[in-house]
Structure formats: structure tokens, C-alpha cells
Structure 1
Amino acid sequence: MPIGQHADQPGARESGRASELNHRERATLRAVASGRAEISCSCEPDLFVDGLSCCDQATTRTLVRRGFIEAAVEGPCGGRVLAVLTAAGMVALNESLRSGAVTAA
């Protein structure tokens, strides 16, 4: 199971439709896609963009639970590794960019 995802957590099985992405989620996915993000190796991962802590960790954790973001490699507990989009994350980002579907954060 990916970092941070627990089958018993609310949202662990969310559909992840691109039309459900809000502005913050889309911006976070773009930052990860650009290779500017690191993620902490934890059951409640934190995201760092350009070396700075992301101000909306709830969005990070939602995207991890939805299966859109994951660690590129395994790392030590609490360590930081490169964050990458999953195949589902790439699809969701591409669909949201193509459709322009964005909801308010």
C-alpha cells in the first residue's frame, strides 16, 4: 500500500476524478510533476516544494490517499525523498488541464 494510505481511513478509496480537483490540488500535482517536490516517508506524509514545507498538508495527504502522489523510492522513516505522480495522478492532472475543471479550495 502506498505511503500514507490505510484501507480503513476515510477517502482511501475515493474515485479520484479530475473533475473533483480543486485549485490547490491541481497546483500541488503540477509542482510534483515538475520535479520540485519531496515527500516525507511517513504514514502521514508531508510535502516540501522547492525545499519549503507545503502550507496545505491536508491536500498532500488527500492526494496521497487518492493514489495521485507517491514517493519515488523508499526512504528512512521521517526522511525526504522525491515525490512523483502516479499513473492515476498524471491522468487526473491531464484531464483537469484539458477540461479546465477546477473547483474552489
Structure 2
Amino acid sequence: MAPRTDPDLSCRALALLRVVAAGRAEITCSREPDMFVDGVPCCDQYTAHALAHRGLIVQTGPAVLGKRVRARLTPAGAAALGAAGEAA
């Protein structure tokens, strides 16, 4: 396993980024976007919120407030995975 270069990203945060990269995540359109993985609420919404606030994940397009849309990595999110030695 490659060493992490961003000490602020936990193993769980990297796992959530991998889920988003795999196309398995949705987020709600809100100020504090909740994440769903394979249709099930994510067990760590705090980390999901942090990833969104850091600009590592975003919604794929506009939607009604509170509704779910597919999540995607931003270029910064892809770079964070790349820096951790993982393919985005």
C-alpha cells in the first residue's frame, strides 16, 4: 500500500472517494450533503460532509433541494486518490 500524502484524509475518507470514483455513491442536494452508497445511507456522514466541504466530491448536476443525485469526484478528489497511490 502506498503511503498517504495528505494527512487530513483518513482511510475511511479514501474509501468513500473510491466509492464515488466507482459510481456507487449518491449525495443529497443540500448545504450538508448526505451520502448514500448502493442506495443505503453512508455510516459516516461526517466524513461525507467533510469531503464535500473540501471540494473533493460534488453532485453531477442540478436537482431539487434534498433530492439525491449521483456524486462525482472533482479534479481535487481524483488528485487525492492519485496521491494516495490509487486510480481515480
- Give the TM-score normalised by structure 2: 0.88
CA distance in 2, matches of 1:18, 1:77: 32
* Residue-by-residue CA offset, 1:34-79 (whole Å, 9 max, x unaligned): 0000000011110000000001000001001111000000100110
8 Å Cα contact 1:18-1:93 kept in structure 2: no
Structure 2 unmatched ranges of 5 or more: none
CA distance in 2, matches of 1:79, 1:97: 33
For the aligned residues, what is the CA RMSD? 1.2
CA distance in 2, matches of 1:93, 1:30: 8
Figure out how many residues of one structure are paired with residues of the other and give that number.
82
- 1:35 is aligned, of 23, 29, 33, to 23
- SS of match in other structure, 1:20: coil
CA distance in 1, matches of 2:41, 2:15: 15
Structure 1 unmatched ranges of 5 or more: 1-16, 99-105
- 2:73 is aligned, of 72, 85, 92, to 85
2:62 is aligned with 1:74? yes
Code of the aligned partner of 1:23: C
